Amino acid sequence: MDIARPDLKKKRRRRIAIGTGVGVLVLAVLAFAVSRLKPAAPPVDRSTIWTDTVKRGPLIRQVRSSTGSLVPREDSIELIPAQSDATVVRIRVLPGTPVTPKTVIMDLADPQLEQQLLNARLALKAAAADYKSLRATLESSLMDKKTSAAQVSTDYAQDQLQAETDKQLYNLGVISGLTYQKSKRTAEQLTTQHQLSQQQLDLNRHGIEVQLASQKTKIEQAQALVALYEKQVSALQVHSTIAGTLVPLATPVQAGQHITAGTSVAEVIQRDKLKAALQIAETQARDIQLGQPAAIDTHNGTIPGHVTRIDPSVVNGTRTVDVELDGPLPAGAVPQLSVDGTIDLERMHDVLFVGRPALGNENSTLSLFRIDADGKNATRVPVKVGRASVNEIQVIEGLKEGDTVILSDMSRYDNADRIRLE
């Protein structure tokens, strides 16, 4: 017969309760330990990243433009306008052709202008004939005045001599006082007439000069008009005043087209007088100053230069910076040729610097991965940077000389503080 043992049941329940409690405690400890574990560092293919080592030394701050072009300098452009309303009858030279001052670029026609020139020449001949006729008339009139004055002068001289003679005879008592007084009065009257005749002769000469000068002005006006029409007729054969290359107009003219005076019919530039026009981002252009050195890459050689103008206006976020070239142009350099340009802003001495990260602006704090000493891992560190150049940036805090950092875009690892390099 079985004997009831209630104490054994109690012991079994106690062991089960203790075992369950211990299991729960172990599970809780394991769960807490797992929660405290850090996630594994994500792997990164070493061949896909770009790194650089922090260095100390001189740093040249630069800005670069990859959207520049060669353009003519202001003193190398000649825009040729039509001198009068005309019709294009023949185009002799096409854009791209070298021209000289002797090269006829195109022929224009203006029959009305040629008729105006003929009329102006006839008017000039008429004015010259009128001048000669007037001068002959005035000289004839002056001659009559001179004859009258000469007669008065002769009478004046004779009466003066007679008066002197009568004075001496009177003093000797040969003639009476009445005779002497009469001779004296006659001499005085002729003296007055002589003075008036000379004054009248002077006025007549002055009047002749005024009339001839007036008529001569008409001749000069006619000559100027003839010269103007001759210049306009000569300009019907379009020439350049400089040696250069004919370039396309924004609105080219065609044979048979009627154009008005002042319309541009041709443009010539001198190929050896080009400058570089660089498009610089507005945020980078603020530090550019006139005279700063530059280097222009034509993809067929690099030319030194210096900044000569900074456009004050902003277009599509950029400003135009003109660079005058200080060296000879390479072969094949033509207007509108695409070029790259680099401008030196300043030279900084004994600074800590590193390659410019893919993401990061100057005067800010960046988050970069610094490669550990074992070269197998990289740790995220804050880096305070200062002024930037095209390819380098100044390091102020967070790195030391010799540190190697990752410069590639690591935004995909923003949630990781460490990465594993493979």
What CATH number is given to the structural domain containing 311?
2.40.30.170
Report the domain count for the chain.
Answer: 4
Provide the pLDDT for residue 250. 84
28 domain-assigned: no
Q: Can you tell me the mean pLDDT for 355-380?
A: 88
Provide the pLDDT for residue 276. 95
102 domain-assigned: yes
Provide the pLDDT for residue 133. 80
One-letter amino acid for residue 206 of the chain? H
Same domain flag for 124 and 204: yes
Q: What is the domain-level CATH number for residue 186? A: 1.10.287.620
Return the C-alpha torsion angle 159, 164, 167, 173, nearest 10. -100
Phi and psi for 102 in degrees, rounded to 5?
-90, -10
Same domain flag for 213 and 253: no
Q: What is the domain-level CATH number for residue 101? A: 2.40.50.100
Q: What is the pLDDT of residues 187-216, one digit of tens each?
A: 556 566 666 666 666 666 666 677 777 788
Q: Please, what is the average pLDDT of the chain?
A: 82
Same domain flag for 298 and 365: no
368 domain-assigned: yes
Task: Give the C-alpha separation, 227 to 418, whole Å.
Answer: 87
24 domain-assigned: no
Provide the pLDDT for residue 212. 74
Q: What is the pLDDT of residues 99-146, one digit of tens each?
A: 999 999 999 999 998 899 999 999 989 988 887 887 777 666 656 556
Q: What is the domain-level CATH number for residue 410? A: 2.40.420
Same domain flag for 228 and 119: yes
Task: Give the C-alpha separation, 139 to 192, whole Å.
Answer: 26
Task: Give the C-alpha separation, 212 to 333, whole Å.
Answer: 61
Residue 289 scores a pLDDT above 80: yes
Report if pTM > 0.85: no
Same domain flag for 128 and 204: yes
19 domain-assigned: no
Same domain flag for 157 and 117: yes
For residues 157 and 187, is the Cβ–Cβ distance under 8 A?
no
- Which domain, by its residues, includes 85? 74-110+236-269
Same domain flag for 118 and 189: yes
For residues 76 and 274, is the Cβ–Cβ distance under 8 A?
yes
Same domain flag for 250 and 193: no
Same domain flag for 312 and 334: yes
Identify which has the larger pLDDT, 4 or 82.
Answer: 82
Same domain flag for 369 and 302: no
87 domain-assigned: yes
Provide the pLDDT for residue 1. 44
Q: Which of 95, 119, 129 is nearest to 233 (CA)?
A: 119
Same domain flag for 245 and 322: no
Counting DSSP H helices and E strands in the chain, the numbers are 4, 21
DSSP secondary structure letter of residue 83: S
Same domain flag for 263 and 222: no
Residue 3 scores a pLDDT above 60: no
319 domain-assigned: yes
Task: Give the C-alpha separation, 421 to 251, whole Å.
Answer: 61
